[in-house]
């Protein structure tokens, strides 16, 4: 089977678009990386991590910084007439979920292929998604969120998922506390209702949860940072916050 038989319509971000527009495209399409195009020619890749590290962490205004300024010139791609095994090899070797698909003749972007497509269809959504964001004011003074990073957690309670998500965010971005980089986070719970429909419920960070997170981290650090006891620390912190 060839790549062109399973690839999807091309999805990219233009080099001269602003970083905040790219962040919205990540969120809308539920992806963490996109090829960067100049017309139909792929000239780089941009990830949500690039936005966080080269834009937000450097105190740049992402509404005035272009994708070209933050992108990586390294391009991962395959050709539409490649066998799907070659595309899968590239993705697994480089630990990515998607590849740009190019036309071999002129090397223009013609599609996107994902590991999900090669595994036989869309994978089941994970129960929790924690989306960390930075808040910016647009030209009219209205606040909007620019997503920095999205973490999915397959199991456990919402509290456990938040703790895991924060830990991953801090480790990936090399910060001691998530709020040094992000202004907040949203938690999306995914479940299937009685009619078999997938339902998403989104909740913004609450003052209570923020307080629990701070206390739970203190308890975890005081205990020597043990693994596998997130639920215990979350519940203990919740009791302390609610009784204060």
pLDDT at 127: 76
Q: What is the pTM of this model?
A: 0.47
pLDDT of 121 above 60:
no
Confidence of residue 171 (pLDDT cuts 50, 70, 90): confident
pLDDT digits (tens, 9 = 90+) for 175-196: 888 888 887 888 888 765 566 5
pLDDT of 156 above 60:
yes
Question: For the chain, where do the domains classified as CATH 3.10.580.10 start and end?
Answer: 3-118
Q: Give the span between the Cα atoms of 244 and 232, in whole angstroms.
A: 19
pLDDT at 207: 59
pLDDT digits (tens, 9 = 90+) for 14-53: 988 888 888 888 777 777 778 898 877 888 888 777 776 6
Cβ–Cβ under 8 Å, residues 22 and 13: yes
CATH of 3-118, one of 3.10.580.10, 3.30.200.20, 3.60.21.10, 3.40.50.450: 3.10.580.10
């Amino acid at each position: 089977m060839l790549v062109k038989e399973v690839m999807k319509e091309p999805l990219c971000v233009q080099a001269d678009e602003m970083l905040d527009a790219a962040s919205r495209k990540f969120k809308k399409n539920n992806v963490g990386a996109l090829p960067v195009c100049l017309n139909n020619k792929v000239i780089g890749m941009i990830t949500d991590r690039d936005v966080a590290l080269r834009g937000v962490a450097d105190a740049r205004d992402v509404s005035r910084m272009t994708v070209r300024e933050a992108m990586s010139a390294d391009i991962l791609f395959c050709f539409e007439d490649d066998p799907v095994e070659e595309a899968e090899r590239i993705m697994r070797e480089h630990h990515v979920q998607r590849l740009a698909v190019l036309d071999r003749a002129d090397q223009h972007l013609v599609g996107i292929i994902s590991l999900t497509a090669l595994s036989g269809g869309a994978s089941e959504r994970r129960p929790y998604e924690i989306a960390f964001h930075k808040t910016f004011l647009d030209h009219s003074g209205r606040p909007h969120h620019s997503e920095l990073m999205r973490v999915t957690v397959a199991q456990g309670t919402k509290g456990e998922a938040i703790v895991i998500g924060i830990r991953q965010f801090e480790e990936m971005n090399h910060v001691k506390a998530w709020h040094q980089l992000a202004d907040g986070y949203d938690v999306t719970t995914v479940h299937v209702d009685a009619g078999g429909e997938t339902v998403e419920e989104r909740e913004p960070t609450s003052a209570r949860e923020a307080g629990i997170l701070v206390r739970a981290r203190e308890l975890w650090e005081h205990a020597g940072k043990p693994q596998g006891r997130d639920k215990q620390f979350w519940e203990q912190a919740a009791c302390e916050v609610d009784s204060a």
